[in-house]
């Protein structure tokens, strides 16, 4: 057991107020402990935490490029293994680096089965460059490259199911979590770093700037995503779904209405058929992961 009272991600970094990923960095290190090496990709977290000559990281940290964190981590792990060293290797990368540009290196690292934990802080768009869509952007979200307009309802594609893709690589532990449930995040990080082989953790990390909500509501928004079924916290071990957080589901409207990125679905008039499509995504999630609490339970 690691000492969860340690603060290994220091204050004084430059993240926005209420930044989900900043909170996640802190939780990851609480779950992983001091004996950890972090490999970062280019992105928000890298930029707000390491402007030379300052760093927020109290554990060894390396950043190379946008797309190669999983390969750099493979090399770190190979060196550690060769020298019988015991540090845990964790990649912390945004959804752009994970879902899109880094897929090649991630697929290679998971296929080779390096003993690393890859954590995606999923804020559902390229936030560092100014809120452009990624493969993790949800259906109908308005971003600067998938803007809502006279002929557009925002992002036209559903979110890529990356956990399933990495599950198909034979990863022994794949899980999702949300910064809205900090104890769960720490527990899953601890489990992942202590599971041999390549493990994947995808953590919902609301971005007040990119999603358009007040920075004091990060946890609330994260919880709403889970309560409506658009985000599901689950675990897959050795290819099988072993756990999913059950909820008394509420309609998706409340979650959507709370964020500027979905405002076009309600103003000037509610676009009922689009909201229904998003509800259908949540309904499908509920069936797929079995998250609905039945009334007789």
Partner 1 sequence: MLQIMEGSHAVAEAAKLCRPEVVSAYPITPQTHIVERLADFVADGELDAEYICVESELSALSVCLGSSATGSRVYSATSSQGLMLMAEVVFNVAGMRQPIVMSIANRALGAPLSIWNDQQDSISLRDAGWFHLYGEDVQEMTDQHFIAYKAAEQHDVLLPGFVCFDGFILSHTYEPVDIPTQEEIDAFLPPYVPYNKLDAKAPLSMGMYATPDYYMEFRYETDAALQRAGDAISAAGKEFGEMFGRDYSTHTESYRMDDADVAFVALGSICGTVKDAIDEMRADGIKAGLVKIRTLRPFPAEEIAKALAGVPTVAVLEKNISLGSAMKGAVGPEVKDAVTGTGIDVYSYIVGLGGRDIRKKDIRGIAALAEKGKGNMFYGLRTEVL
Applying CB under 8 A, which residues contact partner 1?
34-37, 39-40, 46-47, 50-53, 55, 57-65, 67-68, 70-83, 87, 104-105, 107-109, 111-112
Q: How far is CA 74 from the centre of its chain?
A: 21
CB closer to partner 1, 36 vs 224: 36
Helices 20-32, 182-193: axis angle to 10 degrees equals: 50
- C-alpha distances in Å from residue 207, one per residue of 10, 64, 81, 127, 235: 20, 24, 37, 8, 24
CB closer to partner 1, 64 vs 172: 64
Question: Residue 31 CB: number of other CB atoms within 10 A?
Answer: 27
CB closer to partner 1, 106 vs 230: 106
CB closer to partner 1, 13 vs 264: 13
Question: Residue 250 CB: number of other CB atoms within 10 A?
Answer: 13
CB of 215 to partner 1, least distance (A): 24
Q: Are 116 and 104 in contact (CB under 8 A)?
A: no
What phi, psi does 76 have (nearest 5°)? -60, -45
Angle of CA points 285, 207, 9, to nearest 5°: 110
CB closer to partner 1, 107 vs 172: 107
CB of 46 to partner 1, least distance (A): 7
Helix (H, G, I), strand (E, B) or coil at 173: strand
CB of 146 to partner 1, least distance (A): 26
CB of 166 to partner 1, least distance (A): 14
CB closer to partner 1, 114 vs 159: 114
Cα(53)–Cα(66) distance, integer angstroms: 20
- C-alpha distances in Å from residue 150, one per residue of 36, 86, 116, 266, 278: 49, 56, 45, 14, 19
CB closer to partner 1, 29 vs 225: 29
CB of 138 to partner 1, least distance (A): 29
CB of 66 to partner 1, least distance (A): 9
CB of 283 to partner 1, least distance (A): 37
């Amino acid at each position: 057991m690691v000492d969860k009272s340690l603060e290994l991600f220091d204050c004084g970094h430059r993240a926005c107020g209420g930044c989900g990923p900043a909170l996640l960095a802190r939780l990851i290190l609480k779950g992983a402990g001091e004996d950890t090496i972090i490999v970062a990709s280019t992105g928000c977290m890298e930029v707000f935490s390491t402007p030379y000559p300052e760093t927020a990281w109290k554990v060894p940290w390396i950043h190379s490029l946008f797309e190669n964190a999983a390969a750099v981590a493979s090399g770190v792990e190979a060196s550690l293994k060769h020298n019988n060293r015991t540090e845990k290797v964790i990649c912390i990368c945004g959804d752009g680096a994970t879902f899109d540009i880094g897929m090649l290196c991630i697929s290679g690292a998971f296929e080779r089965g390096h003993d690393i934990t890859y954590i995606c802080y999923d804020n559902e768009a390229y936030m560092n460059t100014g809120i452009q869509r990624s493969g993790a952007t949800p259906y109908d979200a308005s971003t600067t490259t998938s803007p809502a307009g006279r002929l557009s309802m925002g992002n036209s594609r559903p979110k890529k199911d990356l956990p399933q893709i990495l599950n198909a690589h034979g990863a022994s532990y794949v899980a999702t979590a949300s910064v809205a449930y900090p104890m769960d995040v720490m527990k899953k990080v601890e489990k992942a770093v202590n599971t041999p082989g390549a493990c994947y953790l995808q953590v919902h990390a609301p971005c007040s700037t990119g999603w358009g909500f007040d920075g004091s509501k990060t946890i609330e928004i994260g919880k709403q995503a889970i309560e409506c079924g658009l985000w599901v916290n689950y675990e897959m071990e050795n290819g099988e779904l072993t756990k999913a957080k059950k909820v008394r589901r509420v309609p998706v409207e409340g979650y959507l209405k709370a964020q500027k990125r979905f405002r076009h679905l309600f103003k000037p008039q509610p676009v009922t058929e689009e909201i229904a499509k998003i509800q259908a995504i949540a309904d499908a999630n509920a069936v797929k992961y079995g998250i609905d609490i039945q009334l007789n339970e």
